Amino acid sequence: MTQRPTPVRSSTQQADDEGAKKPRILIVDDEPSMRDVLRIVLRRDGYDVVVAENGNQAIAILQQQPIDLLLSDIRMPDISGVEVLRTAKTVNRDIVAFMMTAFASTDTAVEAMRLGAVDYFTKPFSMDELRFKVRQHLEASRLRQENVLLKRALNTSYSFSNIIGRSEAMLGVFKMIETIARTSSTVLITGESGTGKDMVARAVHYNSLRRDHPFVALNCGAVPETLLESELFGHMRGAFTGADTNKKGLIEVAERGTIFLDEIGEMNATMQVKLLRVLQDRRYRRLGGTEEVEADIRIIAATNQDLPKLVTDGRFREDLFYRLNVIPIQLPPLRDRPEDIPLLAEHFLGKYATQMEKPVRTISHAAQELLTAYAWPGNVRELENAIERAVALEQTPAILPESLPAHLPSGPGSVPRPTSMAVTMSSDRAEGGLPDLGEGFDLEARGEEFYRHYIALALERAGGVQTKAAELLGMSFRSFRYYAKKFNIR
Ligand SMILES: Nc1ncnc2c1ncn2[C@@H]1O[C@H](COP(=O)(O)OP(=O)(O)OP(=O)(O)O)[C@@H](O)[C@H]1O
Ligand SMILES: [Mg+2]
């Protein structure tokens, strides 16, 4: 096994170490020998232990001091353990409760579970089993409480228009969005695929004075070059074959609002000139039209490419670059802001657990460590997919390492290796066709993995020559470049 380096620790972990408080356990049993054994064993395990000889005493204690875990006999001379449990739950809804019974009387045990006990032990029981379960449930309860605190923190300062982050870079982005809210300045958002460029573009619009007007997005890399001009500027009837009506362009649709030009680096030279014109004069001409139209729009552009480099290579106009780069917003890759990972993971956990109505509440420490140590080449999008998948697969209240994608444990700086992907795919096939559909299956994530794998493989076979790799895959060079960039494969 490879050695995993120490992961970045979350702030909640640090807080724990500083003020660690012993969990307090209340033992209730009318049998003195049972009380003694449990008290000795649990104290030795490091808990703060309180004992009661009967139900009334127990209720008095529960009302006086904070108890984290209740371990109560069911049959007692005065009042029953079930009554004790009922009181315990009214005092503290989150108390962890175990019942003990000398008789295998499932009826009362079931009633106790219905009232919120997590488990019951039939006497005589194994002390080791009890110790194990006590530890396990107290740990889960602690994680749940941490999660609540974390969510509270999120609501205060680590979230802006649903964008989550506590790293200095992200706090800077939030500040910038606020600062430019009252302006109409052009914004250029840069960052690797999956870093949140789309989200930031929307946040700029919805926090601006233009928020009541449309936000229109156009992916310049996805629209065929021949259609881009009419998409953007619209056309007049008869402008070209097939143009049998007048059509509004997106700039017109976005009037008084914002137009988001995604993948701006994909725009060809002719379109670059036309866009420059809009930026300079705020005027444009529809395709086939004679009159000039005024454009009252804010332009936000985004790219995952290195635009200055494209300028140097002569593939992007320098004047257009400067016109776009009025307010630059750079989104750092997730690997450069690991302190955002726990927050993001908790955020996605909450989102998907609610959406799928699954009782998954926390991320186990082991899983958390894997998440923070991984390099996330697909950035926040990849993290979101991983958590969504884990929530779908998880059968316990906490996400365990087993539910995370198999390529995660390989440590920092690592990216999923194409070879391991090939193994997964062929073994899927060996088991008889395609993998099982149903809960946890995610076609989009699978599809992305598949593309990622073959793009990397073809590039390797082609010795890094992109045109050759595209040919090997039977796709156009343009599509190839689009995907290679999207998945950040060089
Ligand atoms: N800081 C964040 N907080 C919450 N969710 C985020 C954050 N950043 C990204 N996401 C989520 O990750 C996914 C990818 O984000 P987005 O589409 O904005 O990335 P992008 O930079 O535009 O990627 P691409 O270059 O591939 O278009 C989305 O589902 C988005 O909701
Ligand atoms: Mg995007």
Summarised one tens digit per residue, pLDDT across range 346-375 is 999 999 999 998 888 889 888 999 999 999
Distance, CA 246 to ligand 1 centroid (Å)?
35
In sign, the C-alpha dihedral spanning 129, 132, 138, 143 is negative
| Integer Cα distance of 292 and 251 in angstroms | 13
Task: For ligand 1, atom 24, name the residue with the nearest CA.
Answer: 193
pLDDT: which is higher, 188 or 464: 188
Residue 377: CB within 6 Å of ligand 1? no
Distance 487 CA to ligand 2 centre (A): 12
198 lines ligand 1 (CB under 6 A): yes
- Whether the CB of 197 sits within 6 Å of ligand 1: yes
Q: Give the number of residues written for the chain.
A: 490
Q: Which of 380, 389, 482 to mutate to test the pocket of ligand 1 (most atoms within 8 A of CB)?
A: 380
Q: Is 196 in the pocket of ligand 1 (CB under 6 A)?
A: yes
- Mention every residue, 6+ apart, whose C-beta is less than 8 A from residue 89: 95, 97, 115, 116
> What CA–CA distance (Å, rounded) separates 107 from 101?
11
- Ligand 1 atom at minimal distance to the Cα of residue 262: 27
Best residue among 167, 173, 198 to mutate for probing ligand 1's pocket (most ligand atoms within 8 Å of CB) is: 198
The number of the ligand nearest the C-alpha atom of 165 reads 1
> How many whole angstroms separate alpha carbon 412 and alpha carbon 410?
7
Tell me the longest C-alpha to C-alpha distance in the chain.
Answer: 99
Determine whether the shortest distance from the Cβ of 163 to ligand 1 is under 6 A.
yes
Ligand 1 binding pocket includes 55 (Cβ within 6 Å): no
Q: Give the per-residue pLDDT at 297.
A: 95
- Predicted local confidence at residue 147, as pLDDT: 66
201 Cα–ligand 1 center, Å: 11
Please identify, by atom number, the ligand 1 atom nearest to the C-alpha of residue 163.
3
Residue 154, amino acid: L
Q: Answer with the residue of higher pLDDT: 190 or 1.
A: 190
Task: Identify the sign of the CA torsion 218, 220, 224, 226.
Answer: positive
Which atom of ligand 1 sits closest to the CA of residue 191? 21
Per-residue confidence (pLDDT) for residue 143, from 0 to 100: 75
Distance 61 CA to ligand 1 centre (A): 50
Compare 138 and 445 and report the one with higher pLDDT: 138
For the residues 130-153, what does the mean pLDDT come to? Answer: 78
Q: What whole-number percentage of the chain has pLDDT above 90? A: 53
Q: What is the 333 CA–ligand 1 centroid distance (Å)?
A: 11
CA distance 415 to 192: 15
Q: Residue 469 is encoded by which pair of tokens?
A: 């790799």
Q: How far is the CA of 478 from the centre of ligand 2 (A)?
A: 18
**CA neighbor of 198 nearest in space, from 184, 215, 211:** 215
For residues 366 and 400, the answer to whether their CB atoms sit within 8 Å is: yes
pLDDT at 480: 85
Distance from Cα 198 to the centre of ligand 2, integer Å: 4
Nearest CA to ligand 1 atom 13: 381
Residue with more model confidence, 109 or 301: 301
**pLDDT category of residue 188 using cuts at 50, 70 and 90:** very high
- 214-273 residue pLDDT tens: 999 999 988 888 889 999 999 999 888 888 889 899 999 999 999 999 999 999 999 999
Beta-strand relationship, 96-101 and 69-73: parallel
Q: Which atom of ligand 1 is closest in space to residue 170's alpha carbon? A: 1
Please tell me the predicted confidence (pLDDT) of residue 358. 87
**pLDDT for 131 beyond 90:** yes
In the numeric block, which tokens belong to residue 320? Answer: 């257009």
Q: Which of 203-207, 299-303, 395-399 has the highest mean pLDDT?
A: 299-303
Cβ contact 191:488 at 8 Å: no
What is the tens place of the pLDDT at every residue in 444-478?
A: 777 777 788 788 888 888 888 888 888 888 888 88
pLDDT above 70: residue 414: no
Of the candidates 286, 302, 304, 284, the one whose C-alpha atom is nearest the C-alpha of residue 294 is: 284
Distance from Cα 381 to the centre of ligand 1, integer Å: 6
Of ligand 1's atoms, which has the minimum distance to the CA of residue 304? 25
In ligand 1, the atom with minimum distance to the C-alpha of 189 is 21
Strands 24-28 and 48-52: parallel
Cα–Cα distance, 73 to 75 (Å, whole number): 6
Ligand 1 contacts CB of residue 194 (under 6 A): yes
- Residue 376 banded pLDDT, cuts 50, 70, 90: very high
| CB-based contact 242:293 (threshold 8 Å) | no
Report the alpha-carbon distance of residue 163 to residue 472 in Å, rounded.
Answer: 39
353 φ, ψ to 5°?
Answer: -65, -40
* Predicted local distance difference test score (pLDDT) of residue 300: 98
Ligand number nearest CA of 189 is: 1
Q: Which atom of ligand 1 is nearest to the CA of 340?
A: 1
pTM for the whole structure? 0.58
- Residue 384, ligand 1, Cβ within 6 A: yes
Residue 100 to residue 124: CA distance in whole angstroms? 9
